[in-house]
Amino acid sequence: MATVVQHSLHCDEPGAAALWSCYNRRTFGFQHGLAGDPLFSLESVKDLLIRRAARTVRSYVARGHIQIADPWKKGMQPVSGLLETLEHIAVNDSLILLSHVEADEEFGPFVRSLTRELSDMSGPTLRNDAPRGGRATLLIASPRRITGYHIDADTNFLFQLQGDKTLHVFDHQDSTLLTQRDLERFFNGDPNGARYAAERQKEAVSYDLLPGLGVHIPSTAPHWAQNGSSISVALSINFDLRSIARVGRVHKSNHYLRRLGMSPTVPGRSRWRDACKICLSFVIDGLKPLHARLGKWRRGKGAARTRAAA
């Protein structure tokens, strides 16, 4: 069984106690025993794609050269091209993400066991905050491929399995780097809510990842990566935290309040304000379908008037 056996100096002390104190507060490196496991070979991943071919699976594939600050969806391809992309991934400058690997009959038992181990090592804080447990994503990328600068709502343990990459992780608690407006955009549905600032690059914690090494990325910690000279395969264990979901709903409401000309307080300053904003966010979610239908109706009326005038 894979085990996190050593923490980097970003934690206060070695061992499980350090993980309890550092989890989701700061980034840190670790070692693991997954390198070379045939379960995560390219042939095994290809078999996974074939098994999933007849299913609707949330996956992501992007091709073509990108820069660090490019939009997340740049180069996105139809999911139907996953197998072809994998077969030529050594030369096609691509990134493939396969989500919910824990649900697969071959990968599932091992990944779920690893997820439980991480949960146990992180202590009751994680177990109580993520009652549904973790989920897993496989990341397969071409040599030299860049994964652009972005943030994620989940907390992440990234295991490098094959190939090498350099991963840069920034401080999510630095409000001059990751602003309230960035977070408001992100939690309102903009995956590019965080903006890369090249002049702040020197502030990142940079990890040179080889097979057998991993990194913990806290929720909303900005990060980007560049692969080395070979195909990279990595496993991301993600935990969706109730605490972050609540904060996200406050940010969502703050986004709308700011558009109304208000200056909303940041999450955590007032419990009763946060509670009201969480309720407001559910109202906003409920109104979105109505707003979309109204927009469609208006566009249809506009098109009809244009045809009539012609």
Domain boundaries, the chain: 16-241, 247-309
For the stretch 21-44, pLDDT in tens is: 678 888 988 888 888 888 888 888
Report yes or no: 200 and 233 within 8 Å, Cβ to Cβ: no
**Average pLDDT of the residues of the chain:** 84
- The residue ranges of DSSP E strands in the chain, in sequence order, are 28-31, 59-63, 94-99, 134-141, 146-150, 155-162, 165-169, 205-209, 213-217, 223-227, 232-239
- Kindly tell me the number of DSSP H helices and DSSP E strands found in the chain: 8, 11
Q: Where are the alpha helices (DSSP H) in 88-148?
A: 108-122, 124-129
**Residues pairing with 160 in the sheet:** 234
**Residues pairing with 146 in the sheet:** 226
Handedness of CA 245, 249, 250, 251 (dihedral sign): positive
CA atoms within 13 Å, Cβ hemisphere of 103: 11
Residue predicted with more confidence, 120 or 301: 120
For the stretch 225-279, pLDDT in tens is: 999 999 999 999 999 999 999 999 999 999 999 999 999 999 999 999 989 998 9
Whether residue 16 is predicted with pLDDT greater than 80 in this model: the reply is no
Residue predicted with more confidence, 305 or 73: 73
For the stretch 171-206, pLDDT in tens is: 999 999 999 999 999 999 999 999 999 999 999 999
CA torsion 172→176→177→179, rounded to 10°? Answer: 70
If we measure between CA atoms, which residue out of 62, 38, 231, 241 comes closest to residue 135?
A: 241
Report yes or no: 136 and 116 within 8 Å, Cβ to Cβ: no
Handedness of CA 124, 3, 9, 200 (dihedral sign): negative
CA atoms within 13 Å, Cβ hemisphere of 184: 17
How confident is residue 56, by pLDDT bands cut at 50, 70 and 90?
very low
Q: Any residues with CB less than 8 A from the CB of 288 and at least 6 apart, and which?
A: none
Class (C level, CATH) for 16-241: mainly beta
Whether residue 145 is predicted with pLDDT greater than 60 in this model: the reply is yes
